[in-house]
Amino acid sequence: MTEKAPNIGSFAGGKSVLVTGGGGTIGRELCRAVSFYSPRKIIIADIYENNAYMIYRELCERGFDNVEVEILSVCNEPALRQLFDRYRPEIVYHTAAHKHVPLMEKNVSEAVLNNVFGTENVLRLACEYCAEKAILISTDKAIAPVGVMGATKRAAEMLAYLANKKGKTAVSMVRFGNVFGSDGSVIPIFEKQIDDGGPVTVTDKRCVRYFMSVSEAVELLLAAGTISKGGEIFALDMGEPRNIYDLACEVIRSHGLTPNEDIKIICTGMREGERLREENTVDLSNAEPTSAERIYITADKPFNAEIFEAKLAELKRLALEIKESAVRKLLFEIVNQHSQP
């Protein structure tokens, strides 16, 4: 941790820590990191049993055996309630989400049910069972969202804001960009395409993204959770954006090959729900520094809670009926409605 980093040991030590999506890239690294601070228990909740089992085995083999695995969807409220009742987690990291941008454009109702109403379940139960803190893992794609995935994460942030106001649980959000080497990220895709002899595909030569390593992201997530008091949107300093075409060239060269000679690079065009450049999570003109390096608190856009909650009920009904175009339309109405400051 950095010199200014908060005392994470006092945050996680002796606590029961729930990580939803604990089998995913960020979830796994969170479980590893939290285990070093002597929590009373780590609960890994995930719908995908293979990854959950692998991180469970890894922790046990490393000597941390106070770990439980629950195979469930966050959309399954009865199973989730049973989990909260059994373990009474004091710290909740909610990382479970559908994150693949093009797939969510084609599966709008599923994206809404999982990312919005699954989040609602987790936050409601965290407050009901008096967790000390709940931290929602969000994304730079939630800033002025143009795609379904980003819009669902923005709706999840709005839910987190309201949950913080309603209960004693300190509910906060953390936004960051892409993570090198995460499941579904561009680096493993490039590596596979190179191994197959090419071509390597990028959407557009002008496309740029913000990146950080998994370990960096989790270090900052833990620090943000430690300093959170509730209601904050923490924005992580992601550094300078990387050009995806240039990144593809770097990966090709790392294999001892020459871009566009040994391995061709093909631009496929932007996909639905994507933009050339993601928003920087940290707008220094509209953000406050915190006691932790590279972590800022960004101002949220005000919204009408009554309108939001009324429209959420209709959104859920439409999503359960899989009325895709209506779900998409209402989702963007919800995340774009704001009250006057």
What's the CA gap between 307 and 335, in Å, rounded? 11
CATH of the domain at 173: 3.40.50.720
Within-domain flag for 125? yes
Q: Which residues does residue 277 pair with via DSSP β-bridges, in sequence order?
A: 208
Within-domain flag for 294? yes
117: containing domain: 9-180+211-239+279-336
Residue 149: pLDDT band with limits 50, 70, 90: very high
Within-domain flag for 290? yes
- pLDDT tens readout for residues 53-77: 999 999 999 999 999 999 999 999 9
Give the chain's mean pLDDT.
89
What are the residues whose beta carbons fall under 8 Å from the beta carbon of 194, sequence distance 6 or more? 200, 251, 252, 255, 257, 263
List Cα–Cα distances, 290 to 51, 92, 160, 223, 279, in angstroms.
34, 21, 20, 10, 21
Within-domain flag for 18? yes
Within-domain flag for 192? no
What pLDDT score does 209 carry?
76
Which one of the listed residues 106, 141, 311, 316 is annotated catalytic?
Answer: 141
Q: How many separate domains does the chain show? A: 1
- pLDDT tens readout for residues 251-266: 899 999 999 999 999 9
Dihedral in degrees, nearest 10, Cα atoms 67, 73, 77, 82: -20
Is the model more confident about 146 or about 176? 146
Considering all CA atoms of the chain, what is the largest pairwise distance in Å, rounded to the nearest integer? Answer: 60
- Residue among 82, 6, 97 nearest 43 (CA): 82
Known active-site residue 106: no
Dihedral in degrees, nearest 10, Cα atoms 155, 156, 158, 164: 170
What pLDDT score does 210 carry?
67
- Give mean pLDDT, residues 80-105: 96
